[in-house]
Structure 1
Amino acid sequence: MNDSKVILITGCSSGFGLITAARLAKSGHRVIATMRDTSKKNALLSEIQKRDTQLDIKQLDVTNKDSVNAAIQSISEDYGYIDVLINNAGCGIGGAFEDLTDEEIRQVMETNFFGVQNVTRAVIPLMRPRKNGKIINISSISGLYALPMFGAYNASKWALEGFSESLRYELQFFGIDVLLVEPGRYKTEIFKKNLHLAKNHDNKNSPHYELSQHIRKLVTERLKDCHKDNEDFAEHIEKLIHAKNPPFRSQPDIEAKVFLLARKILPFRLFSFILNKKLFKRYKK
Structure 2
Amino acid sequence: INYIASKFGYVDVLVNNAGYGIGGAFEDLTEKEIREQMETNFFGVQNVTRCVIPMMRQRKQGKIINISSVAGFSSSPCFSAYNASKWALEGFSESLRYELKFFGIDVLLIEPGTYKTPIFYDNRRYAHNFDNTESPYYEISQHLKKKVMDYVEDCYKDLMEVPMLVEKLIRSKKPSFRNIPDVEAKSLSFLRKILPFRVYSWIVEQACFHKLYQGQKKRETA
**Length-normalised TM-score, structure 1:** 0.74
Gaps of 5+ in 2: 217-222
Query: Residue 23 of structure 2: which of 86, 91, 94 is its match?
Result: 94
Aligned partner of 2:145 in structure 1 is: 216
Structure with greater proportional helix content: 2
Give SS of 1:136's match: strand
State the shift of 1:87 in Å. 0.3
Q: Quick one: distance in 2 between partners of 1:153 and 1:226?
A: 21
State the shift of 1:210 in Å. 0.4
Cα-Cα RMSD: 0.8
Query: Residue 200 of structure 1: which of 100, 116, 129 is its match?
Result: 129
Aligned partner of 1:109 in structure 2 is: 38
Give SS of 2:64's match: strand
Give SS of 2:102's match: helix
Which residue type is aligned with residue 201 of structure 2?
A: S
Aligned partner of 2:4 in structure 1 is: 75
Segments of 4+ moved more than 4 angstroms? none
Which residue type is aligned with residue 2 of structure 2?
A: Q
Cα deviations across residues 141-196 of structure 1 (Å, max 9, x unaligned)? 00001101100000000000000000000000110000000000101111221111
Aligned partner of 1:228 in structure 2 is: 157
- The percentage of aligned residue pairs carrying the same residue is 62
- The answer to whether the aligner puts 1:171 opposite 2:100 as a matched pair is yes
Aligned partner of 1:258 in structure 2 is: 187
Which residue type is aligned with residue 136 of structure 1?
A: I
Which residue type is aligned with residue 108 of structure 2?
A: L
Q: Quick one: distance in 1 between partners of 2:168 and 2:2?
A: 28
Q: Quick one: distance in 1 between partners of 2:167 and 2:83?
A: 26
Q: Quick one: distance in 2 between partners of 1:187 and 1:174?
A: 37
The question of whether the paired residues in 2 share the 8 Å contact of 1:128 and 1:176 is answered with yes
Aligned partner of 2:90 in structure 1 is: 161
Give SS of 1:183's match: coil
Q: Quick one: distance in 1 between partners of 2:153 and 2:100?
A: 41
- Using CA pairs below 8 Å that are at least 6 residues apart, which structure has the higher relative contact order? 2
